[in-house]
Every structure is written in C-alpha cells, then in structure tokens.
Structure 1
C-alpha cells in the first residue's frame, strides 16, 4: 500500500474536484464567540462536507489492494440504543495482521426549527460505539472554526488508525486513546490518572505485558501501511 502522505494527497485532490463549500474560521483573532452564536446554526447544509470527505476516504482506501469495504445498514450505535443511531456507514478492513477495522458512520441529525438536518460524521474502530471522533462536535455558530478545521480533524483521525500504531482503552466510566502524536482520556473522576494510562498505552503499543484496571477493553491497532 502507498504511504499515508500519498493517500492524504489523493484524498485532497479527489475532494477538491467535488467543488464543495468552504468557509474561513469565523472566530480567527477573536477572544471568544458571542453569546447569541451558541443558539444559532447558520447554513447547516454546508456541514455535508464531513460526509463527503469520509466518502472520499472510503473510496480511496477501497482502491488499495485487498482493503475490504462493507456497506453498513442503519443501526443503533450501541447494543442498548443509548447512543442513538447512524443512518449510513462503511466498515473498512485491512488484510495486514493486527490492524483495527475503521468505521465511517454518517448521521442526519434533526435541528429544532430547521428543515435541513445537520450532517454528523462519527469515526469509530472495531464497533460503532468505540468512537474516536464526532464531527462537528456541536454545529452551532459558536463552535464553528471553519471548514479546514473539520477536514483536518477527519484526515488526522483516519490517519491515526491506518498509519498506526493506535491504542484504545475502555473501562467502567472511562476511556482513553493513544497514538504516537499524543493521546486523550476522559470519564469519571474515579478513572485512572491520565499520565499513568498514557504510559500503559505506550507499553501496549510496544508489545509490553502491562497491568490494566480490571474490566478494561483493549484495542491495539497496527499500521495498515508498509
């Protein structure tokens, strides 16, 4: 398979050929959003770019040798239905040993008082509920940092999965993810210390035998690429 930077370049060219909307960061150089922006959604249709970018990634990866692309029917994001549903999606898998399946899940989120829904993309691994990123995270004007910010976040998150290594941990009331460029964790205050869990993730990525909190789900993804 080609290198990650080559894939990203292919995605950028294919996407640019679609001629989709782009807009600058409306908050560049400002201290903070205005109060009225938190209850306003301007041009929700333009957020369709997150679905479009994901589809270009799916097409580009699907052109790679032996990468399998499975179309997913609408379904709940988790077994109990607490997280809502997705409306469309694809599951991409690499033939390389130790890699994690990549899920690109589309939602059409209804907006109060508006006819057009908000396009939402969820990037997950292994199962729909194991989310790495949800974009846009809100959709209101106060949380709008421009189209480039959205596209960059999509490319980076997909890059973490296919470029590898990536480690995802899920425990009771907490979660964490790690990749060579950094990591994040969250959940209840009773969850493990961030610095400690990042160290454990680095050990897992390096193939070490580490001791994790009881009941932790562990997903270690190796690079899809040569």
Structure 2
C-alpha cells in the first residue's frame, strides 16, 4: 500500500508488546520494520476539509504542530485522534528516516535512542504550542544521538571487563532505624510499595513528602568508609559544613579518589575524572524510593569504585559526551551517557580528557589492599 502523502510504502502497526516483556525471534522470523503506518486517512481528510495540504504537514512537523494547536477539535473523536496520532508519527519518520513503529502501551515511533508515544505527542501539540520549537530542535539532533549510540555500542563490544579486587570480607550494612510516616489522612505510607500496577497519580510526580526518610543513608556512608579504611590503603578526611552537610574525602594510594557528600535528604558520590551521581536521583512521591533501595545503589557504586570497576570515557562523538560504566561486585552494572556536568569549565574538561587517555580503556585501577589482606578477585 502506498500514499501520496508520505514518501514510502504503508504498513499496519506492529503487534503490541507489553511493557517489561522482551520478545526474541530468529532474524528470519522478524517482521519487516514499519516506517509509515496506515490508519491516518481520517485525519488526512480532516486536514483537507480545513483547506490545508496534508502533504505539507507531513513534511513539516512545525506546521503540523501549529495546525493541531489551532484545531483542537481533531482530538474530540477517538477515531480522529487516533488517526492524528498515526499521522504525527509518520511525520516524525519523514523528519528522521531511521525511525520505525512499535507498540507498547500505545503506538510509538522511534529508534533505539529515542521513542515517542504518538498519542501523547498530539495531545502536547494541542495543549502546548510553546513546546513546538523545542521538539523540532530534538528532531534536528536525533541523527547525531543515533550516531553517538552506535559509537558507544561499538566501544562496549570492544571493551574488556575488569577483574575486581575485593577484600576477603564483604560489607555488612548497619541496621537502619525504623520510622513510620503517615499521609494527610493518618494512613501509614508504605514507601517502596505505594503504587499498584496502574502506577502513581499524576500529581505524585511533582510532590515530595518526607525527604528525610533518606537520612539513614548517612549511617551507611559511615559504615562503608570504615569498611574501606579497614581493608584498603586509603587516607580518609571528614568534614562538616556550617549547614550540617557532611563530606568524606577518600584518597587511595592507587585508583580513583572518592568524595561522598551527605545530608538527611541525599547522598552524592563523585569519583574519577567526571563521575558524579546523586542518590536518590529523584525523591518525588511517584518514584517511591526508600533508604534501603538507595543504600543498595550506594554500596554497589562505592564498593565497585574501590574494587576497580569504574570506567569513564570522554569525549565521545561530536557532542563530546561522557560515558560511564560501573561494574558491581555481584556482576551487575550501572552507567550511562550524557553531557558532563554544566559546572565543569573547559579547562577542567580538557584535564579530565587527558587523565582518562592515560588509563587502560578508561578503567580506573583497583585500590591497593592493606598488607596482609588476601584479595578476592571477581570478574
């Protein structure tokens, strides 16, 4: 099936794949990707009825955004709204030829680096005309994002995995004090299990309640520092700011230095040349994190850095992104890619790049164990 509106054959939307489900097929069994989906014809006729050219809107996402902002009635009928969403997704595929369709909770158009739920997209076009230019800018940088992701994946394929050097005794988390929090109705808040399968309410994303529930992380920090100081050759210096913020600077004889900053509401870990992570990364009610869940992330990060599991590569691609990888002592890993922190000066970034070039594939060495400590190596 073809169309005069979009520059390619039309196909049906792919079968839906529920969130959290992975489907593996042999290459010969995989369906052909769909770049332009059928089902937009009702909206195409609507555009014609308004005296507009569907082909022009298909080629110009900015013009499509303006059209929908001026014709909110396009979303009043479920059938027409669905057709508008498919039309918008096809228009995105015109702007970014690598994009194809998939269906999760709703139809999406995208690549491995970015996927856009199209029903939300047309709703945003109607309700937020001021976001048009930002979205168009995103489309303009998408190709570079795909190229950077391909480069990162190639580096990961060629990268060696570190051999972690660990002390003979593992870390034991201290007991956390149990506190009870209640909501405005007096009901106990069960953080970590608050939301059923349908997810949190919309207003939970902008609400933060009881951020001091993360205060026990400071106990975990103290225990981690004691553990590291017991087993590794590391100089430890503690300080407390006037506002009560606690800082611990750890300077090992080999490997990456480590600084942990903590308050009753968060813990921040900086290490290596540019590595920087805050726990929790979001404390809103929707995310529903707990001190226990964040303590697990804190321990994974700190113990991995000491064991030689921190990799930093910078700069990558035309956008000069930072790629980090932290290999945990249990075999898992965390990390990601993105721009370095905005507080870094050009001179600091150049110094970081020079430092990382001196490392073996960006891997920071393990800290040196104290004399007499028998190491346990884990891949």
What range describes the TM-score normalised by the shorter chain of this pair?
A: 0.5 to 0.7
CA contact (8 A) 1:176 1:183 kept: no
For residue 144 of structure 1, give the secondary structure of its aligned residue in structure 2. Answer: coil
Which of structures 1 and 2 has the larger relative contact order (alpha carbons within 8 angstroms, sep 6+)?
1
CA contact (8 A) 1:168 1:177 kept: yes
- Specify which of 254, 258, 270 is matched with residue 102 of structure 1: 258
Partner residue of 1:47? 214
Unaligned stretches of 5+ residues in structure 2: 1-164, 181-189, 340-351, 357-361, 370-374
Rate the CA distance shift 1:48–1:93 in 2: closer, same or farther, 3 A.
Answer: same
Who is 2:293 aligned against? 149
Using the TM superposition, give the Cα deviation of residue 130 of structure 1 relative to its aligned residue in structure 2, in angstroms: 3.2
Tell me, yes or no, if the aligned pair for 2:283 and 2:289 is still in contact at 8 Å.
no
Q: What residue is the counterpart of 2:366 in the other structure?
A: 223
* CA distance in structure 1 between the aligned counterparts of 2:245 and 2:291, rounded to whole angstroms: 23
List aligned pairs for 1:52-131, cutoff 5 A.
52-64=219-231, 66-72=233-239, 74=241, 87-95=245-253, 97=254, 99-107=255-263, 119-126=265-272, 130-131=275-276
C-alpha contact 1:74 1:88 (8 A) present in aligned 2 = yes
Give the Cα–Cα distance (whole angstroms) in 2 for the partners of residues 148 and 5 of structure 1: 24
Aligned to 2:325: 178
Higher fraction of strand = 1
What's the CA shift for 1:30? 2.2
SS in 1 for 2:193: coil
* RMSD value, Cα: 3.5
Distance 2:260 2:239 in 1: 9
For structure 1, the 5+ residue unaligned runs are 76-84, 108-117, 189-214
Query: After the TM superposition, which residues 172-211 of structure 1 pair with which residues of structure 2 at under 5 Å, given as runs?
Result: 173-180=320-327, 181-187=332-338
Distance 2:224 2:239 in 1: 16
Aligned-partner SS, 1:220: coil
Are the aligned partners of 1:135 and 1:150 in contact in 2 as well (CA < 8 Å)?
A: yes
Identify if the C-alpha distance between structure 1 residues 26 and 64 changes in structure 2 by more than 3 Å, giving closer, same or farther: same
Instruction: Determine if the alignment matches structure 1 residue 6 to structure 2 residue 173.
Output: no
**Is the contact between residue 275 and residue 324 of structure 2 (CA under 8 Å) also seen in structure 1?**
no
CA distance in 1, matches of 2:307, 2:193: 32
Tell me the alpha carbon deviations over residues 45-87 of structure 1, each in whole angstroms, 9 at most, x when there is no partner: 2111222211221122223363210124659xxxxxxxxx993
Work out the CA distance in 2 between the residues paired with 1:166 and 1:146.
25
In the comparison of the two structures, how many residue pairs are matched? 173
Following TM superposition, where does structure 1 have runs of at least 4 consecutive aligned residues deviating by more than 6 angstroms? none
Structure 2-normalised TM-score?
0.39
Q: Where is the helix percentage greater, Structure 1 or Structure 2?
A: 2
Tell me if structure 1 keeps the 8 A contact 2:191–2:288: no
